[in-house]
Structure 1
Amino acid sequence: MNKKSYIGLIVVVVVFSLIFIPRIFERLNKDKVVTNIRTVNLSEKPLSYIEINKQKRKVPEFIFLNQDSLYVSNIDFIGKVFLVEFFFTKCPTICPIMNNNLKYLNDYFSNEDDFKIVSITVDPQNDTPHVLKKYSENFVENSNKWNFLTGEQHKIYNLANNGFNLLAQVNPNFAGGFEHQGYFALIDKKGYIRSRDDKFGNPIIYYSGVNNINAPIQGTDMLQEDIKLLLKEN
């Protein structure tokens, strides 16, 4: 190879380096997946109301005992933003995931006096206030912030199935002997059930309490954003 050929080859390499290598790095950075980081892109779009027959749906009335053997009702949460879930302490499947996600939200909003959590057992025969007290210590120190509730089974099931339209029932074919759905209900300061819309413009109604590796954003991450929106409302 003569001297001119070497010079030509060097010129080609330099031009390629200057033009194409930066583009390759740009593409790699663009496609990079960042894991184990909770990101929040707060949307200012107001959350939707859940409506039935053109009537805004409020949280159903309830009154149950908490882990401190104190009566707690829906009236106690007027002026507060709160979450409602159904669970049971012996649940070996989704409940630990749900309550760890609630613990994350409880810790995140630990300085927000207007944010609360309500966990209602679907196994009240076993989950007495004493049992709930011991169980709650795995997740929270202050019962004023997070109430674990128990009561008469038929009232709890009526609240879940008819009040929230969330399935809760005895089912020996399910692990632990009970079947319930792994969703969180988000309630605003005036007692209305609220949610963000899906990509088609319809309310999602409830938020997933379990982690889905295929979901573009987890239910708890959506809640982190949407709780902030409701806390800003009067």
Structure 2
Amino acid sequence: MSNKTNYSYVGIAFIILVFGIIFVPKIVDRITNEDITRNESRSDQANTKEKEVATSELAFLNINGEPKKVPDFSFVDQNGNQITNKDYEGKVYVVEFFFTTCPSICPKMNKNLVQIQNEFKEFADFGVASFTINPGHDTTEVLKVYADNYGITNPNWHLMTGDKDAIYELANIGFNLYTGENEEVAGGFEHSGNFALIDKNGFIRSRVVAGNPLIFYNGIISEAEQKDDEGQEQQITMLKEDIAQLLQE
């Protein structure tokens, strides 16, 4: 073998050695610390996946395999106008059952709803449907005073009164929100302190928590309180987030 050939091999070996010394550690270091561009891409994918999960978690309330829709109703509101479920078509709205002389949970519920009203005041497609469970006392005039006292200004917030049997059927069967008379409790009536959330097509919707639909939202505990005396956490923040999501659908 010629000296020239030997020099060529030596030169090649030297180049390989230099490459190994300079570049291999950098490659190993880059792999060990993960490629930044690849890592950001994974992060973006994860964020996208999280957003997809969040926007898909508002379930329908299914009864016998069918999504439950708000049944037809027709009552008179605080302004003396006849209001039906059709007036809420194309709107996201919250449903509650209450009565104006309620000495316990109703004031808390409606203060929370007023806060929600004020947060979504720029949205013409947001509303509230409040049904009195004491229509014998809660006339349109009484409801009007109540609305003014609480600062109810949203034109899509209707406080409704009408046939008592129809209201109780709407509550107990239409929404599965318990309502009843009980002379032994303060105020003479008892009812659920939960809110129902309705989408623009009239379907009852709710967030999925731990694989199960929440169904209804606790309307009694305020964001300021955070928890009640029994340690149950407030759900008003959750409700506001889900209203915002439905408004985008």
TM (norm. structure 1) is 0.78
Aligned position for 2:153:
142
Q: Is the contact between residue 140 and residue 146 of structure 1 (CA under 8 Å) also seen in structure 2?
A: no
Instruction: Tell me whether 75-84 or 135-144 shows the greater mean CA deviation.
Output: 135-144
Once residues 145 and 67 of structure 2 are traced to their aligned partners in structure 1, the CA distance between those partners, rounded to angstroms, is 37
Instruction: Give the whole-Å Cα distance in 2 for the aligned partners of 1:141 and 1:172.
Output: 30
Unaligned runs of 5+ in 1: 1-40
How far 1:143 moved relative to its partner? 5.4
C-alpha distance in 1 between matches for 2:151 and 2:124: 15
Following superposition, the deviation at residue 141 of structure 1 comes to 4.7
Structure 2 length-normalised TM: 0.74
More helix by share: 2
Distance 2:173 2:217 in 1: 18
C-alpha separation in 1, matches of 2:238 and 2:152? 25
On the 8 A contact 2:78/2:140 being kept in 1, the answer is yes
Distance 1:86 1:79 in 2: 22
Q: Secondary structure at the match of 1:116?
A: strand
- Number of the residue aligned with 1:231: 247
Please state if 1:204 is matched with 2:214: yes
Q: 1:86 to 1:154 in 2, by over 3 A?
A: same
Structure 2 counterpart of 1:222, from 232, 238, 243? 238
Q: Deviations over 1:14-66 (max 9, x none)?
A: xxxxxxxxxxxxxxxxxxxxxxxxxxx99433400000110000011111000
Deviations for 1:42-96, whole angstroms, at most 9, x for unmatched residues?
9433400000110000011111000011000101111000000000000000000
Q: How does 1:64-79 map to 2 (within 5 A)?
A: 64-79=75-90
Deviations 1:133-185 (A, max 9, x none): 00001223535231100001000001001111111111101110001010100
**Cα distance in 1, alignment partners of residues 243 and 54 from structure 2:** 11
- 1:63 aligns with one of 60, 74, 94: 74
- Paired positions, count: 191
CA distance in 1, matches of 2:178, 2:55: 32
Determine the C-alpha separation between the residues in 2 that align with 1:231 and 1:75: 18
Rg larger in structure? 2
* Other structure's SS at 2:195 match: strand
Structure 2 residue matching 1:67: 3-state secondary structure: coil
Tell me, in whole angstroms, the C-alpha distance in 2 between the residues paired with 1:142 and 1:224.
18
Q: How many angstroms apart in 1 are the aligned matches of 2:149 and 2:57? A: 34
Cα deviation code 1:104-151 (max 9, x no counterpart): 000000111010001100000000000000000122353523110000
The counterpart of 1:182, out of the listed 193, 198, 218, is: 193
Separation (CA, whole Å) in 2 of partners of 1:210 and 1:43? 25
Please name the residue that 2:10 is paired with: none
**Alpha-carbon distance in structure 2 between the residues aligned to 1:154 and 1:57:** 21
Residue type at the aligned position of 2:213 = P
Q: What pairs with 1:1-234 in structure 2 (closer than 5 Å)?
A: 43-142=54-153, 144-199=155-210, 201-211=211-221, 212-213=227-228, 214-216=231-233, 218-233=234-249
List 4+ stretches of structure 1 deviating above 4 A.
none
2:114–2:151 contact (8 Å) kept in structure 1: yes
Distance 2:232 2:237 in 1: 11
Partner Cα separation in structure 2 for residue 60 and residue 203 of structure 1: 20
RMSD (Å), alpha carbons: 1.6
Separation in 1, partners of 2:152, 2:245: 26
Alpha-carbon distance in 2 for matches of 1:198, 1:141: 31
Unaligned runs of 5+ in 2: 1-50, 222-226
Q: 1:196 aligns to what SS in structure 2?
A: strand
